[in-house]
Structure formats: C-alpha cells, structure tokens
Homo-oligomer: A and B are copies of this chain.
Amino acid sequence: MNRQTRLGILTSGGDCPGLNAVIRAVVSHATLTYDWQVFGIPYATQGLLERQMIPLHVHSFDLRGIDPLLSMGGTILGTINKGNTLACMDEIISSYQALGLDALIGIGGDGSIAILSQLALQGNWQFIAIPKTIDHDVALTERTIGFDTAVNTITDALNRLTFTAASHDRVMVVEVMGHEAGHLALHSGIAGGADVILIPEIPYSIETVCGHLAELHDRWQRKFAIVLVAEGIHPAHDANYLPHQKPSGSRGQYIADCIAKCSAYPVDTRVSVLGYIQRGGIPSALDRLTAAAFGKTAVDLIAEDQSNQMVAWQNGRVVAVPIAQVCDRSPLAVDPDGDLVQTARALGIYMGE
C-alpha cells in the first residue's frame, strides 16, 4: 500500500517497570522493519477520547545517543487506572477513526485487555495486547511485564527487613501488593526467606500462624520472624482474634495485631507496608527481555493481519493466544497445590491450610 501503516500504542492500568522497554521495541521493529508510523496515545483510553497522540520515532527519546527507555521504570506515555471507557465507547471509537490509526497495541493487565478488546471489536479495528502486571494474574502466559522486577524489589526489601528484625528480636509483618492473587508474595517470600506467607488463595488461621512462630522460637531458637502478607488476604474467619475490629487499616497491621494478641510468647511486632516502591525501579534484565520479545511479536502479529490476540510466554517461546480465551480464564490465581506452594512448604514456610 502507498500510505504508511499508522500504528497506535498505549499503556493502561497501574504502571510497572518494563513498559518503556515494550514501547521501544514496538517503535524499533515497526519503523525499522516495516516502515510504519507509530503514535503513542497518552493516558490510555483518556488520550484516545481526547484525540491525542504523539509521533514516536526510533531514538526519539535519546540523550546524546543514550536511549533511556530501556532502564526507565513507569511509562513515558502516562497511564490511568480506571477510566470511564465503557460509558464512552462510541466517542472513543470515533476518536480512534479520527486519529486515522490502522491498528493498536495495548499494554495492560487483564481488565484493560478485556476492555480494549471489546472496543476494538466494536470499532472493527486490529488490536494486539501485551500483558503487564506486577501481580502476574493474567491467564495463559508464564510471564507478565513488571513481575520479575517487583519480585526482586520485594526480595531485596525482605533482606533489609530481616536484618533489622533480627537485631531487635521482632516479628516483622510485611504487606505486599496482590489483591486477588498471591504470586508476588509467594515468589518473593521463597526468594527472600520469609517464615510465613499468607495469600488470598489459601485460608489461614491466626492460631496456626502463631503456632508456627512458636515452633521457630522453641525448636530453632529463632527470636525474630518475617511474616509476608498479600494485601488481598481476608481477615481470619475462624479466629476469634480481634473479631470486632474492622481491618480498616492495612492487612499487615491487622495481622500484626492478631499475632501480638495470640502469640504463645511475648512478641514485639512491627509492620512494613511496601506500597508504591514495588511499582518502581529499573527493570530487571528478564523484564526487559520479555518486553523486547513481546513488543516485537505484537508488531509481527499486526503485520500478519491478526487481531484480538494477546502475546504470551509459554514453554520457552513467545506465542499468541486469543484474548477471548484469556478473558474466559482470568485472573490467574496461585494453585494451592502447585509446585511453588509445595516448595514453600518444603522449606518450612507456613502458608495456611
């Protein structure tokens, strides 16, 4: 065709490390290999709605020839967590047409991917999704952009907190992200040497947590402990501890209070809510590599006239899976009988019933 293909790209949902590396890969491959024009849509569907776009070229962010995108966290395009996309679908669709785009690559979590896919279907345009989430809860892919960096960040934090907990003989309760899924807590808890890991997928009782801490104390003379808690765990149902207290504060604080009340020996508890530092950071090598491979494949899928596919990592390869299949399955939860939960238990980590 005579006219250059015009490819849009946007990032949607919570930011994470590796998004810029995806953008870089998409721009490089689309322009160098296919000679397309690439446009960044700022702030996800909000930018679409406002008909904004920024032309992106190879090296367009370079500083004296150094490309900062590979090692920058966050997203150069901006993002939004929750838009009113569903309420404005018609306007977004007309905006998209007004922008003259031929295809769209959207980097997002499963929620964003589902909505963007609906938009693309209704607007009748080509759409390829790239999964990103530090929560790792997208189905049908072994990797999501941002997860590996976040696991490293939390593992490093656990290392730091272990030193201070051990120096003061404290039980340190550490709260990490993970509303629906406990992958972050599970992976970093094993890597960082937690004593207890509580995740939304596995019920627990405070008595058993305290029993485990007592065993550490009595059998192994451990005077401190690290209790890792995903923010999405449910208050201990069976326990009679603190039943009247609505856990309005953090889950970490709630668990710390329960432990203080229930412990068989006097404990000094502290809480550390890691919060937003989990989202930031220089992307790990693995996240950058996955970003590059995902970005490259997304562009190829557009070139092959495919649509409504999500790029995924399966069995050591980059593949495409229909978004409809992903939506049927999501979100990906931790398998309570899977390899990693069993690994945690084999290491003596308490993970609930």
Measured CB to CB, the residues of A under 8 A from B are 11, 14-15, 17, 19, 24-25, 28-29, 32-33, 58-59, 61, 63-68, 70-76, 78-81, 142, 148, 151-155, 157, 159-169, 172, 187-188, 190-193, 220-224, 270-277, 279-281, 284-286, 288-289, 292-293, 296-297, 299, 314-318, 339-340, 342-344, 346-348
Q: Are A74 and B285 in contact (CB under 8 A)?
A: no
Q: Are A347 and B221 in contact (CB under 8 A)?
A: no
Least Cβ–Cβ distance between A72 and chain B, in angstroms: 7
A273-B17 Cα distance, complex, nearest whole Å: 21
Q: Are B66 and A289 in contact (CB under 8 A)?
A: no
A60-B315 Cα distance, complex, nearest whole Å: 37
Number of copies: 4
Contacts of A151 in B (CB 8 A): 285-286, 289
| Given A25-B347, A346-B29, also A73-B160 (CB < 8 A) | yes
Contacts of A292 in B (CB 8 A): 190-191, 343-344, 346-347
**A346 interface neighbour in B74, B157, B280, B299, Cβ under 8 Å:** B299
Q: Are B288 and A155 in contact (CB under 8 A)?
A: yes
Question: 10 tightest A-B contacts by CB?
Answer: A160-B280, A73-B163, A74-B163, A15-B167, A74-B167, A29-B346, A191-B285, A191-B288, A315-B315, A296-B346
A17-B160 Cα distance, complex, nearest whole Å: 9
Given A28-B347, A286-B286, 4 more A-B residue pairs with CB atoms under 8 Å apart are A70-B193, A73-B163, A151-B285, A160-B280
Contacts of A192 in B (CB 8 A): 70, 285, 288
Q: Are A63 and B58 in contact (CB under 8 A)?
A: no
Q: Are B296 and A74 in contact (CB under 8 A)?
A: no
Q: Are B59 and A63 in contact (CB under 8 A)?
A: no
**A70 interface neighbour in B191, B273, B296, B315, Cβ under 8 Å:** B191
